[in-house]
Amino acid sequence: MTEHHHLPSQLEVSPEAPDRNLALELVRVTEAGAMASGRWVGKGDKNGADGAAVKAMRTLVSTVSMNGIVVIGEGEKDEAPMLYNGERVGDGTGAECDVAVDPVDGTTLTAKGMGNAVSVLAVAERGAMFDPSAVFYMDKLVTGPEAAEFVDITAPPAVNIRRIAKAKGCGVEDVTVVVLDRPRHENLVQEIREAGARIKFIADGDVAGAVMTVREETGVDLLLGVGGTPEGIIAACAIKCLGGTIQGKLWPKDDDERQRALDAGHDLDKVLLTEDLVQGENVFFVATGITDGDLLRGVHYRAERAYTQSLVMRSKSGTIRQIESVHRLSKLRAYSAIDFDRAR
């Protein structure tokens, strides 16, 4: 028997790092989540939509070649039977990974049939992601590459808006700021308007809102305001791939949460930068549209077919893919308890 030896080539990947082929495996997971929740669009049941996506994504993620641990998922094990924080996912082979999953970023958007709901998954090397467990909310600033070095979350909104306008060579009246539509942002909204900028309100889904700011074609320049800490970390994974910056400050909602954060060793005055939220240069981010939006087209159903649109990104290579997929509905029963063959 002849033995063949060869030198390692650049195509071979160390088992310690997530493989570059992982990106195309991961998109199958978000496609499944989007198609499962897509059947719940406009039906007024955000928990039903979320539950369908969770089941579908868990089924698919078990086939991915990775040894993952859910760092950001559906919550603690007692509350979430699947995709809970600490759950091992993947087929157990390959790299040790941190996994962040948001089966439906925008459950209310999905339930109401509104735009910009997406299914999201991010993967990084083990230990790379910030632990958000102590504080659920974070004050955030996100902008794209052109103005990334000029913004500062500790500065007033008017200052950041002027800096972005200067960096982009436009007037402040041309700057669009995306803000979650919440009562807590009343003063922020007033400051943005007084600065002369435009506001794009989003009802839910601030992962998509953050990614919009770093995608030039969306027409959004800046995200400001308080949203979820887990969503901030997932957004940071996308920003690692796209460029730009996210800056955040933990925002305890009450004295008890403030004390828990201090007990956990968090500095509540510290500005958390992109690298604080997710470390390393081998980060994957994938998202599939559930409803039509500024970022992605949602799931469309036609005779015996489902059509999806996804973003697939990897920070190490800087590659950004937009993937259009056509799925045969008769093949999709394995993804979900939902009957895909006919909308009910």
280 in a known ligand binding site: no
31 in a known ligand binding site: no
204 in a known ligand binding site: yes
Contact between 49 and 55 under an 8 Å Cβ cutoff? The reply is no
Angstrom distance (rounded) from CA 259 to CA 315: 35
102 in a known ligand binding site: yes
342 in a known ligand binding site: no
Angstrom distance (rounded) from CA 35 to CA 118: 11
182 in a known ligand binding site: yes
Cα–Cα distances (Å) from 285 to 37, 67, 133, 233, 261, in that order, read 19, 17, 21, 11, 28
341 in a known ligand binding site: no
- Nearest to residue 72, comparing CAs of 98, 47, 100? 100
Contact between 220 and 164 under an 8 Å Cβ cutoff? The reply is no
Angstrom distance (rounded) from CA 279 to CA 256: 29
184 in a known ligand binding site: yes
Type and span of the H or E element at 287: strand 284-289
15 in a known ligand binding site: no
205 in a known ligand binding site: yes
Rg (Cα) of the chain, in Å, rounded? Answer: 20
276 in a known ligand binding site: no
Cα–Cα distances (Å) from 312 to 103, 332, 335, in that order, read 16, 21, 20
DSSP 267: -
Contact between 341 and 37 under an 8 Å Cβ cutoff? The reply is no
137 in a known ligand binding site: yes
58 in a known ligand binding site: no
Binding-site entries: 50, 74, 102, 105-107, 137, 182-184, 204-206, 228, 231
Binding-site entries for Mn(2+): 50, 74, 102, 105, 231
Binding-site entries for substrate: 105-107, 137, 182-184, 204-206, 228
